[in-house]
Structures are given as C-alpha cells and as structure tokens.
Amino acid sequence: MKAFSRLHPLPLFTYFIIMLLFSMFLRNPVIVALSLLGGGAFAATLTDKREKLSDLKFYIPLSLLITVTNPLYSHNGRTPLFFVNGNAFTLEAIEYGVFIAAMIIAVLLWSKSYSKIVTSDKFLYLFGRAAPKTALILSVALRYVPILKRQAEKTRAAQKTLGLYSTGSIADNVVSGAKVYSSLVGWSIENAVETGRHMRSRGWGRGKRTCFSVFRFRASDGVFLGFTLLAAVLLGLSASRGLLAFSFYPTPTPLPVTALPVAAYICFGALAFLPFLIETEENIRWNCLRSKI
Amino acid sequence: MNKKLLSYLIVLLGIPAVIVLGFTVFSEVKYIYIALAVAALSLVPFLIRFEKKDHSVTYLLLIAVFTALSVIGRLAFSAVQAFKPVTAVVVIAAMYFGPEAGFLTGSLSALLSNFYFGQGPWTVFQMAAWGLLGFLAGVLAERLKKNLVLLSVYGAFSGVVYSLMMDVWHAMFEDGIFSWGRYVTSVTTSVWFTVMYAVSNVVFLLLLARPIGKKLDRIKTKYGI
C-alpha cells in the first residue's frame, strides 16, 4: 500500500476532494456506480482481511436498510408494488433507495481511503503555511494525544499498586477514570505552561518560521494533478450543461448514451480507478522483483 | 506582500467559485452543497482573525492541551455510544480562555479526533458545530462560571444543538435536498442520541468544570500569569 500514498500531499488532497464532491453531488447512476467500484477496489488494496470483513458487515446491512426505508419516505414513482396504510410502495422509490445506498457507501469508502492516505502530517504540510498558528496548535495537540495516553496509563498503574479502586465494579471504574482524568488535566496544563516557557526562552516567535517537510513535488505529481484537474473540469462542464442529468421520478429517465456523456463516464471511470491501478501496478512490479530473487 | 495577494485571490476567486459550482455543476443538489460550503466557510473568518492577532505561546499551548484532552476523552469513551466529554471540555476551555479559544478547541477537537475515528464530509459539520458551541460558551463565560444551574442548562442546550445540526447533515446526505419529512424522521430516530449528548454534557460539566477551574487558578498563581 505504498505507491499511491507516496505522491505529494497536494495532488492527493485535490484528488480525494474531487472524488468526494463528484460522488456526493453528481446524482447520476453511472457516476455513482463507477465511484463505488473504483473506491471499493482501492479501499480493498488498503485493508487486510479482517478489516474487509468487518467493513462488509457494516456496509451490507446499511445499504439494505437505506434501500428498504427509502420507499417509506417517498411515495413518488409510477409503478406501485403494494400499499401500506394507503401509501404506495413504488418500484422507483426502491431503485432510488439502491442508488442512495450506493452513493453513501461510495462516499464512506473514499473517506476511509482518505483517512488512510492523507495522514495528519500531510494535512499539516498543506495548511501549515496558510495558518501557522492553527497548525502549531494542531501539531502540538497531535503530539499530546500519545503523551497523555501514556501518562494516563502510568497514573492508572500507580492507582493499582496502591490498591485503590480495584474491585472492578462499575462505581470503582467510574471513580478511577475520573481521578485519572483529573490528574491528567492538572499534569498537562502544567506541562503546557512549562513547554511554553521553554519555547519562549529558546526564541520562539523571533524571525521567520520555517517548516520541515519530506515532500517533494516530482514530475509524476504534476502529471497526476494535471490529469485530476483536467478530468474534473471536463466533468464539471458536462454536468453544468445538463449532460449527466438523471431523475428517478416519476420513472427513471433513460441513460444518455450519446458521445459526450459517454466520454464523461470514461473520464470519471479513469479517475476513479486510477489509485487502484497505481497500487496494482506497484504490486505486480514488486512480485516480479521478488520472484527474480 | 505575496501572501496578502494570495489571500485576496483566494477570497476573490474562491467564494465566487464555490457559488458558481453550486448553481451550475451541482445544481440538482444545491442545498447539501450549500450547507457544506457554508459550514466550511464559517470556519474561515475565525481562523483569519485568530492568525492576525498576537498571542502568547502559552495561550496557544493551552488550547493545544485542551484539544488533546477532549480527544483523549473521546477515545477513552469510544466504547460508550454518544456519551462523550468532548463538548464539556470545549465549554470549559471557552469559559476560562474566551470565545476564540472555545472556537478553536471545538473545531480542532473535531478535526483531530477524526484522524483517529475517520475523516469524511461530516468532519466539516462537526468542526462548525463544536466550534460555534465553544464560541458561544466563551461569550457567556462570566455567567457560566458563576452559576452551576446555567452551566448545566448550557450543557443540555449544546447537546441538543449539536444533535440537531448533525441531523441536518444526515437528512440531507440521503436526498441531497432538504426535506422536512426526512429531517423530522432523522431527529426522531436520533432522540436517544440527543438525550445522551445532553446528559453526558451536563454530567461531565458538573464533574469537571469546578476542579479544572481550580487547577487553572493554581497554575496561574504558581507561574504568575
């Protein structure tokens, strides 16, 4: 799972924002289907077997639930299947439910990949220069989370060795947790003030701030970013001319299959499967190299 | 100079671009798009104002620590649904360090904890919701400090407001447009969550507000801040 995440943060961030926007807002079945497949294929390269299984256990019931409940809200559509309390349960509403479910799962999949690829260091690199103070707070807070976790464990261990709150009852657990948290608050506030003093005495805030980063914008990053933006502009243009318009009610409109929409679909499909292809290519190359040894 | 030019360009081109996109490309689902854009843009003025002001490094670090404390709280209670100390910690930070700190603690807690829980379009809504609740708590700080009853009321209020704001997102995520029918069902199906948010806020505020206040006072005397 290395090839795609090695790209520069800027093309990565742009790519995910564009995929999320288009998956959420271009209400077209082909686009959503492509996004779902591409997102699913890519997420599959990022997760291990156990995570895949637990994801499926979450996504499948969720999509069934959305599909089944949609006809309860919307009684539009021309083909009633049966009536509940005088309200029509229509075929179109079920179709629309399937569509919404696919859209939501696609967005969840892309968000999941985003979380795994655009990690906090990349995020800070992108926004650190635009908002240096906010970035400072964010990076210090990020560092404090593991420090506080460790400190909480230490305090809890000290409690245990003193034999306090060790019966395992709920009341004991709550009181123990509260005491640990309280000591954590005191310790961390003092720690923050001390750190602030150290930073000031070491000359924080004098002169220009510099940022350390390990990211380099390579030619391949430029190509990827260019392709992403080009595809986004083409899709945006075709959407703004209504070429991708689709509606489910009263009956689903026929899918436009003239040259331009099809070109837009191909464009979006290429965009959606790009990360998966990059990963697969890397995997194949890696396996070839390994088999040579 | 270069930076200034860039920020003007962002404002002059960015905002119209957002609006034009909404009316042309994403016109069928304008409302959820606009809601998302409004939530994201509502963060910008606060951040710009904060970046322009002069702050002591201690102040910045205290905000960072409170953000980390609320994230730790969310992590520690991740097993218990909807029962989280995040809002309480944000409100406490706002009470003692002012509206700006409240806003930052709130919105950064959402951003930071989602690095652990998973980012997504909902991050923007959570950032706006917690940020604004923190800001409001900072505005009411003096009254909240004096009156425990008022503090509990604010805790319950912020739980309800948070839930109602997130319901807007849930209702619109499905249809892309805002419909009262979906909103009402979304609100009614999440009543349990709303109640839990409110209860947990009150519980954590009553448990934490006074002790943390005392600790802060002690630190203030110790270091002469």
B94 within 8 A of B135, measured Cβ to Cβ: yes
Name, in order, each residue with C-beta under 8 angstroms of B79's C-beta and a sequence gap of 6 or more: none
**CB–CB contact B69 A119 (8 Å):** no
pLDDT band at B32 (very low <50, low <70, confident <90, very high): confident
Cis peptide leading into residue A250 (ω within 30°):
yes
Interface A–B counts its CB contacts (< 8 A) at 172
pLDDT score of A92: 85
**SS3 label, residue A255:** coil
Which tops the pLDDT comparison, A50 or B29? A50
B46's tokens? 């606060």
pLDDT > 90 fraction of chain B, expressed in percent and rounded? 44
Place of tokens 């218990």: B80
Distance spanning both ends of chain A, measured CA to CA: 21
Confidence of residue B61 (pLDDT cuts 50, 70, 90): very high
Looking at residues B100-116, what average pLDDT do you find?
93
Residue A131 identity: A
Partners of residue A190 on adjacent β-strands: none
The confidence score (pLDDT) of residue A132 equals 87
pLDDT along chain A (293 residues), means of 10: 86 94 88 95 93 92 87 74 75 88 93 92 87 90 93 91 82 81 91 92 81 86 94 88 80 79 91 94 89 80
pLDDT in tens, B144-153: 999 999 999 9
Q: What is the overall mean pLDDT for chain B?
A: 86
What class has domain B53-223? Answer: mainly alpha
Nearest to A25 among B29, B108, B222 (CB): B29
Backbone angles phi, psi at A90, to 5 degrees: -100, 155
Confidence band (pLDDT; 50, 70, 90) for B10?
Answer: low
Amino acid at B108: L
The amino acid sitting at A1 is M
The confidence band for B1, taking pLDDT boundaries of 50, 70 and 90, is very low
The torsion angle over the Cα atoms of residues A52, A56, A59 and A62, rounded to 10 degrees, is -150
Q: CA of B140, closest CA in chain A: separation in Å?
A: 23
Write out chain B residues lying below 8 Å of A245, CB-based.
28
Domain ranges of chain B: 53-223
Whether residues A192 and B112 touch (CB distance < 8 A) is answered with no
Give the one of A107, A134, A195 whose C-beta lies nearest to B51's C-beta: A134
Q: Does any CB of chain A come closer than 8 Å to the CB of residue B207?
A: yes
CA distance A134 to B131: 13
- Is residue B142 within 8 angstroms of chain A, CB to CB? no
